[in-house]
Amino acid sequence: MKFLDLAKVYIRSGSGGNGCVSFRREKYIEYGGPDGGDGGTGGSVWVEAVDGLNTLIDFRYQQHFFANNGIPGMGRQRTGADGDDIVLRVPVGTEILDEDEETLIADMTEIGQRVLLAKGGNGGWGNLHFKSSTNQAPRRANPGQEGVERTLWLRLKLIADVGLLGLPNAGKSTFLAATSNARPKIADYPFTTLHPNLGVVGIDGVEFVVADIPGLIEGASEGRGLGDLFLGHVERCSVLLHLVDGSSGTLIEDYHTIIGELEAYGGALADKPRVTVLNKIDTMDEEEREFLKAEMEEACGGAVLLMSGVSGEGTDTVLRALRAQIDDNRLRHKIPEEEDETWRP
């Protein structure tokens, strides 16, 4: 399934049905009086967060969503039928934005959450509603209320616990593949990751979700490269995992490049807890590891962990450091496998 995290949709709620002007006409009844019914209410447009979706690809092929109009009222005091509602089903984590792409209308963060996007128009009153002691034969009825038409943007921000950051080829996809069942594309050239990948990792009896986004480059906050398009997917994460390529000859510059892009992106992304890891230590000897680690700790002003996604060395230590930064209510506890109690003679 192709990943799509931004879609433009056009919605319109149904108009209300017109009221009816009608009079009771039966044999031997001289003064029947008004009996025009009311119009039905137009259908509304709703959005609902559902389980089982992780992309907005459905809105690539259908962008227009129009609810049905209400049925006009009829004689014999018959009210018109209401128009059917339309429900846009979106993945959890979808933001509903106005046409300007800035005004937030709704943030769909929970399964089953429903938000009204466009209310259907009210049905018009029939002439029966206007009957009074001084106006016993009204010849007026209200038209139905017009529906609401608007253009909206849907933006998906994946809900993950950990977000992976780093320059291209820093080893993010390799780490995700080594610690989870996810199978992202891995190759020895930049920008092998073209869309976010999710993986569920486990450590010490708990599980959490890790999101891998395309690598950032200098100037990403100004639109260069691919990473800035996907930084929104790590805004909801509890902690960021910053991988620095230890085999690079400019690892200090690489570190500051990522930090600078986070600060330029704005919001609270730069203030999120971070775990800094020196990756690809399988290419170094013990002396080089300690030297580069000391340099990194001086540059970032905090602890730096050592890891190799290829050999698996240090991955458990990194996962435990990430687990300590995640709230317990976001962690999922593994269900222990039940012992085979099948009777054997």
Binding residues for GTP: 166-173, 191-195, 212-215, 279-282, 308-310
Of the candidates 165, 163, 204, 201, the residue with the CA atom closest to the CA atom of residue 182: 201
Cβ neighbors of 105 (< 8 A, separation 6 or more) are 96, 97, 98, 115, 117, 152
In this structure, what DSSP letter does residue 238 have?
A: S
SS3 state of residue 295: helix
| CB hemisphere CA count around 331 (13 angstroms) | 20
What is the b/e burial string over 18-40, where b = at least 16 CB atoms within 10 angstroms of the residue's CB? bbbbbbeeeeeeeeeebbbbbbb
Annotation: binding site: 166-173, 191-195, 212-215, 279-282, 308-310
- Give the other-Cβ count within 10 Å of 116's Cβ: 13
Q: Note the maximum CA span of the chain.
A: 111
Q: What is the Cβ-side half-sphere exposure of residue 180, based on CA atoms within 13 angstroms?
A: 22
Kindly state the tokens that stand for 101: 């792409």
DSSP string, 135-190: -SS----PPPPPPPEEEEEEEE----SEEEE-STTSSHHHHHHHHSS------SSS
Q: What are the binding residues for Mg(2+)?
A: 173, 193
Q: Could you tell me which of 227, 196, 180, 208 has the C-alpha nearest to residue 54?
A: 196
Residue 334 per-residue DSSP state: P
Residue where the block lists tokens 């977000």: 163
* Integer Cα distance of 159 and 98 in angstroms: 22
Which of 126, 116, 178, 176 is closest to 152 using CA atoms?
116
Distance CA 175, CA 160 (A): 16
